[in-house]
Structure formats: structure tokens, C-alpha cells
């Protein structure tokens, strides 16, 4: 017997994602349940930011494109100014490079702390046990009745912050649950601290007004450097003493999730955080590269194209982004998503923290990543293959948060106090360029064409567009669709497995459909 299972909306991610799974009866470990035969990710909204940029002053692009998202705005700003820097034949100053790195890094720290505590943790923390223990049955009942009333009124969906939830397996130890909940609250403060770090040099957060092609408009005075440093120390302490240990504790408790949600098993990283003033693409903190079928290769950006066979767009399929379009076609037959299907040499590739860690792990030029990850894998008694999993994604995210926080301290120490934060530039009458970086959720690229001092064409290819992509022209499912397929679900009325898989990718649908 075959069954359709739909989760819509899939909550505790950013934006509007529907997950459709076709399941069949199955048995695993002596338990009867259902197995996902195939899954579909549906991005439910069209935004059209690329269209909005057309005809505008190129300098508007980095401001408007930051509005793609409130979670990863800086990455869109950086991708946009990288594209402009290429078009203007411009390199950031020494300080400009460091300040751009420090603002982007603050955004990564903020986003990863947010994801673990405020989006993913409630898949594991037993919030109901805490509410009951705390003697707040009243609070629990109040939440319940609020939800019931809302449903009865049909005016809002049952989306109270903590309940209802899938009634399945959560952390059993009450102390661990209490501790994780208290960290949930502390994490709100840490997010503010990280956003303050971004604002010290970015002038304004979430959407920075200070990052510009060639650097940053904020002069790195000693006061600003110290203000960033104080907050970085606070954030780093939380990341090392609280966040990573919590990830490891959850990983040990839910070890089975190292076997669930593998995905397509091949990975892409565009590279981020330039390490030298020449802006050598290979010499970045996260180096660019791919791992396809277990084999590392350098990045070749000409291999990126976006298929639209299953997407509600009218333009030809398989366009490279420098020729890309986003012409909405909501009635297109056979399509089921507003997300395009970016492919690399025709292959779906996973992007994000796990992809950064694994591409760098296999890159001889980043031997330190192999050393770091091997040490953690040994301590958990895990083989490398298990990293491609729900828990592997959480672990990779936690690890790289520590690495980025430590690196920020080094960049701070390299700043030339009061030195020039940006280079001068002139916008050419015509030109083109692309900017690649890593957003918290993965590989991000912006492509710009300028004609008569105006933006002629603008395209962005975005992390969640890769991960939540629908089937491509060859019928290959996207990475999240592949991660869902084959999953055993114990109870189709409480399909927590699917939520845990999708959330391990940290999807942002606002970004995906841009
Ligand atoms: Ni809206 Fe984003 C990140 C980008 S994800 S969060 O990180 O780019 O597609
Ligand atoms: Mg796009």
C-alpha cells in the first residue's frame, strides 16, 4: 500500500517549504512502519529580487540583495560586492578584506547559534517534560487552549512556539533537557552579541550599510576593534563551552541519526574569507572545491547551471547564471516548486557546513581541517562516511563555528588601526563579474552585467536553492529530496524523522526563491 504524506508548512525553518513524501509499509529493527519511496521539496513563494535590480545603479545591488534574507544578509552583501569588485577590477584594501571577513564571520556565528538552539533543538529537547516538571501545567494548558482556539477560528495555523509537536522520542534526562532549555535562552543573548559584532564594522545590522566594493566604510579605530574583541570573547566562550558540547551531547544521545538523512553524498564549496590581500581564490579560510563520488577537485564555476524542468519558470533550462533569467510561469505543467535546480556538471551537490568541512577535509591545501575532524571522529568512534547524515551536519556546523570564532581573533590582530578601510573605484560604463562566497548555509554566487552604468542582468544562485532543489531536467532529485528518500518512519502521524532530516540542512526558503 502506498501513502502520501505532506508536511506543510515545515516549521522551524526560515520561509515556506512543503515536503511531500510517498511512503510504503515497511519493517525495520522488528518495528512496523513506513518507508519513504520518494520525496519532493516544494518552495511555495516567488520573490523576484533579481528582477527588482534590473535597470538600477549597480551600487543599489548590494543593498537590495541583502534584503534577500534577515538571517544571512551579509553573505548576499559580500557576494554582491565581490561581483562588483570583479566588474570594477578592484581589490579590497588590507583592512577592507579583514573588515569584510569579520562582518561576514559575525553573521556565520549568529546564524549557526540560531539554527541549533532556536530551530533544530526542539526536535530533541523534551519541552513538555520541562513544562510539567516546572509545575506549570497551567502554562501548558494555556498553550494548548490558545492553539485549539486558533484552529477553531481557522484564522491562524497551530504554530505556538513549542507545542504542539510530534509526540516521539526526545532527550529523556530531565537535567539535560533543563540545561538545553536554559541554553536556548542564553543563545538569544549570544545572537545579539554576534549581531553587535557585525554592526560595529557593518554600521547597521541585519542589513549592513558599510560594506562596499573594495572594503568597508567604517575606519577600524582602536575603540571599534576593542568593542568587537570584547563581544567576540563572549561569543567564543559560549560557542566552545556550551554550543559545541551541546551538539556533541545530542549527537551521542541520537547516534542513530548518523545513519539517517545521507543526501546526495557529493559536495560543493565556493570558498570564503580571503586570507591574503591579493585575493587569491584558493587562499581562503574555507577553500573552494568539490567532492564528487568521494573525489576532491578544484572548483570550476563554468560548470554551474540552473535547470527549471520542475520549476515554475519560463526561460530555457540549464542556463549558466551569467545568462540566467527568472521569468515566473505559475501555470507551467510538470513543475512543482519556485526553487530552481542548480547543478554542477549536471550533478546535484550538497552545500553548507558539512560541504565546507568535507571539501576542505579532502583538500591537501587544508590539512588542518582533516586533523581537526579526524580527532573528533576518533573521540566519537565514528567513520568519516557517517558525516553525511543528520548528526554529521549538526556536528560540522558546530565545529566550523569554533574554527571561525578562533580565526576572527587572528583577523582582528592583523588590522592596521586607523588604516584605510576601502579602495576608491569608478563604476565602468559596461562590465560584468561574479562574486562567490560561503553563506552560513553554503555556496552563494551573484552574477552582474552592467550596461550604460545600469544593471542589465543580475542573478544569484543560493545555498538553499542547491539543497532544496526539485528534480532537474534528467529527473535527478535535489539533495534534501535524496536525503528523505529511503527513510524509515515509525509513525506516519508523527513523522519526526522527516523534520529532523530537513532541519539538519538549515533551509532558508526566503533565500532559496529570492
Ligand atoms: Ni536566508 Fe542564506 C544562508 C543564503 S540560504 S539564509 O546562509 O545565501 O539559501
Ligand atoms: Mg537565482
Indicate which ligand has the atom closest to the C-alpha of 464: 1
Domain locations along the chain? 2-126+170-512
For the segment 290-315, the average pLDDT, to the nearest whole number, is 98
Contact between 306 and 343 under an 8 Å Cβ cutoff? The reply is yes
Q: Which of 198, 268, 462 to mutate to test the pocket of ligand 1 (most atoms within 8 A of CB)?
A: 462
pLDDT digits (tens, 9 = 90+) for 367-408: 999 999 999 999 999 999 999 999 999 999 999 999 999 999
Strand 2-7 versus strand 17-28 pairing type: antiparallel
C-alpha 207: how far from chain center: 17
pLDDT digits (tens, 9 = 90+) for 217-234: 999 999 999 999 999 999
Of the chain, the percentage scoring pLDDT greater than 70 comes to: 94
Residue 35: partners with Cβ closer than 8 Å, 6 or more residues away: 23, 24, 25, 26, 28, 486, 487, 488, 489
CA distance 359 to 286: 9
List 48's β-bridge partners, or say none.
Answer: none
Q: Which of 356, 463, 510 to mutate to test the pocket of ligand 1 (most atoms within 8 A of CB)?
A: 463
Residue 245: partners with Cβ closer than 8 Å, 6 or more residues away: none
- pLDDT tier, 2 (very low <50, low <70, confident <90, very high otherwise): low
CA distance 359 to 356: 5
Indicate which ligand has the atom closest to the C-alpha of 43: 1
Indicate which ligand has the atom closest to the C-alpha of 49: 2
Of the chain, the percentage scoring pLDDT greater than 90 comes to: 89
Contact between 28 and 59 under an 8 Å Cβ cutoff? The reply is no
Does the pLDDT of residue 147 top 80, yes or no?
no
- pLDDT tier, 476 (very low <50, low <70, confident <90, very high otherwise): very high
pLDDT of residue 129: 80
List 7's β-bridge partners, or say none.
Answer: 19
CA distance 134 to 211: 46
pLDDT of residue 164: 81
- pLDDT tier, 154 (very low <50, low <70, confident <90, very high otherwise): low
For ligand 1, say whether the CB of 511 is within 6 Å of any of its atoms.
yes
Which CATH number fits the domain 2-126+170-512, given the four candidates 1.10.1740.10, 3.30.420.10, 1.10.10.10, 1.10.645.10?
A: 1.10.645.10
Residue 294: partners with Cβ closer than 8 Å, 6 or more residues away: none
pLDDT of residue 132: 72
427: left (phi over 0), alpha (psi -120 to 50) or beta: beta
Provide φ and ψ at 241, rounded to 5°.
-90, -20
pLDDT of residue 156: 44
pLDDT digits (tens, 9 = 90+) for 319-340: 999 999 999 999 999 999 999 9
Residue 136 C-alpha to ligand 1 middle, in angstroms?
37
- Cis peptide bond prior to 439, omega within 30° of 0: no
pLDDT digits (tens, 9 = 90+) for 478-500: 999 999 999 999 999 999 999 99
For ligand 1, say whether the CB of 462 is within 6 Å of any of its atoms.
yes
Average of per-residue pLDDT values in the chain: 94
- pLDDT tier, 153 (very low <50, low <70, confident <90, very high otherwise): low
pLDDT digits (tens, 9 = 90+) for 9-62: 999 999 999 999 999 999 999 999 999 999 999 999 999 999 999 999 999 999
- pLDDT tier, 424 (very low <50, low <70, confident <90, very high otherwise): very high
pTM over 0.75: yes
pLDDT of residue 143: 58
Angstrom CA distances, 167 to 131, 365, 454, 480, stand at 15, 46, 54, 23
Does the pLDDT of residue 170 top 70, yes or no?
yes
Residue 351 C-alpha to ligand 1 middle, in angstroms?
11
Angstrom CA distances, 369 to 237, 268, 348, 356, stand at 21, 16, 24, 10
- DSSP codes, 288-319: -EEEETTEEE---GGGEEEE-TTBSB-SPSSB
Q: Which helix (H) or strand (E) holds 161?
A: none
For the segment 163-192, the average pLDDT, to the nearest whole number, is 90
For ligand 1, say whether the CB of 435 is within 6 Å of any of its atoms.
no
Does the pLDDT of residue 429 top 70, yes or no?
yes
For the segment 440-447, the average pLDDT, to the nearest whole number, is 98
Residue 221 C-alpha to ligand 1 middle, in angstroms?
31
Using the atom order of ligand 1, give the atom closest to the CA of residue 463.
9
pLDDT digits (tens, 9 = 90+) for 76-132: 999 999 999 999 999 999 999 999 999 999 999 999 999 999 999 999 999 888 777
CB-based burial of residue 269 (10 Å sphere; 0-12 exposed, 13-18 middle, 19+ buried)?
Answer: buried
Strand 211-212 versus strand 454-461 pairing type: unpaired
CA distance 124 to 105: 27
CA distance 172 to 72: 34
- pLDDT tier, 158 (very low <50, low <70, confident <90, very high otherwise): very low
DSSP 322: G
Amino acid at each position: 500500500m502506498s501513502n502520501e504524506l505532506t508536511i506543510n508548512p515545515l516549521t522551524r525553518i526560515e520561509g515556506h517549504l512543503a515536503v511531500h513524501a510517498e511512503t510504503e509499509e515497511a519493517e525495520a529493527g522488528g518495528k512496523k512502519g513506513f518507508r519513504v519511496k520518494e520525496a519532493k521539496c516544494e518552495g511555495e513563494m516567488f520573490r523576484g529580487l533579481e528582477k527588482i535590480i534590473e535597470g538600477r545603479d549597480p551600487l543599489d545591488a548590494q543593498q537590495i540583495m541583502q534584503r534577500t534574507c534577515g538571517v544571512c544578509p551579509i553573505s548576499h552583501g559580500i557576494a554582491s560586492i565581490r561581483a562588483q569588485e570583479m566588474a570594477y577590477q578592484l581589490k579590497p584594501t588590507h583592512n577592507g578584506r579583514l573588515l569584510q571577513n569579520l562582518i561576514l564571520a559575525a553573521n556565520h556565528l549568529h546564524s549557526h547559534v540560531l539554527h541549533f538552539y532556536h530551530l533544530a533543538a526542539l526536535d530533541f529537547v523534551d519541552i513538555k517534560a520541562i513544562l510539567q516538571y516546572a509545575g506549570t501545567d497551567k502554562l501548558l494548558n494555556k498553550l494548548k487552549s490558545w492553539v485549539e482556539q486558533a484552529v477553531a477560528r481557522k484564522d491562524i495555523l497551530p504554530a505556538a512556539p513549542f507545542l504542539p509537536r510530534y509526540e516521539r522520542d526526545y532527550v529523556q534526562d530531565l537535567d539535560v533537557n533543563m540545561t538545553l532549555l536554559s541554553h536556548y535562552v542564553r543563545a538569544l543573548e549570544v545572537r545579539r552579541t554576534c549581531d553587535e559584532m557585525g554592526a560595529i564594522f557593518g554600521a547597521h545590522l541585519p542589513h549592513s550599510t558599510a560594506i562596499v566594493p573594495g572594503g568597508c566604510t567604517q575606519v577600524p579605530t582602536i575603540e571599534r576593534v576593542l568593542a568587537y574583541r570584547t563581544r567576540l570573547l563572549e561569543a567564543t566562550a559560549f560557542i566552545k563551552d556550551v554550543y559545541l558540547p551541546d551538539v556533541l551531547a545530542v549527537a551521542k544521545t541520537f547516534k542513530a541519526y548518523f545513519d539517517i538523512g545521507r543526501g546526495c553524498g557529493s559536495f560543493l564549496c565556493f570558498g570564503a574569507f580571503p586570507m591574503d590581500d591579493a585575493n587569491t581564490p584558493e587562499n581562503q579560510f574555507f577553500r573552494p572545491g568539490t567532492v564528487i563520488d568521494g573525489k576532491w577537485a578544484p572548483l570550476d564555476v563554468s560548470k554551474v547551471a540552473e535547470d527549471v524542468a520542475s520549476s515554475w519558470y519560463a526561460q530555457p533550462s540549464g542556463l549558466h547564471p551569467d545568462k540566467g533569467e527568472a521569468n515566473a510561469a505559475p501555470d507551467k505543467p510538470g513543475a512543482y516548486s519556485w526553487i530552481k535546480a542548480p547543478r554542477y556538471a549536471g550533478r546535484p551537490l550538497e552545500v553548507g557546513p558539512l560541504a565546507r568541512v568535507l571539501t576542505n577535509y579532502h583538500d591537501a591545501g587544508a590539512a588542518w581541517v582533516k586533523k581537526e575532524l579526524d580527532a573528533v571522529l576518533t573521540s566519537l568512534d565514528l567513520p568519516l562516511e557517517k558525516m553525511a547524515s543528520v548528526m554529521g551536519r549538526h556536528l560540522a556546523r558546530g565545529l566550523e563555528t569554533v574554527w571561525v570564532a578562533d580565526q576572527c581573533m587572528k583577523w582582528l590582530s592583523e588590522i592596521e588601526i586607523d588604516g584605510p578601510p576601502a579602495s576608491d573605484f569608478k563604476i565602468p560604463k559596461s562590465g560584468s563579474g561574479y562574486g562567490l562566497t560561503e553563506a552560513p548555509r553554503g555556496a552563494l554566487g551573484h552574477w552582474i552585467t552592467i550596461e550604460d552604468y545600469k544593471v542589465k542582468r543580475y542573478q544569484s544562485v543560493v545555498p538553499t536553492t542547491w539543497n532544496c532543489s526539485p528534480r532537474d531536467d534528467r529527473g535527478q532529485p535535489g539533495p534534501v529530496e535524496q536525503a528523505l528518500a529511503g527513510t524509515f518512519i515509525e509513525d506516519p502521524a508523527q513523522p519526526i524523522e522527516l523534520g529532523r532530516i530537513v532541519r539538519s540542512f538549515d533551509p532558508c526558503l526566503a533565500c532559496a526563491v529570492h
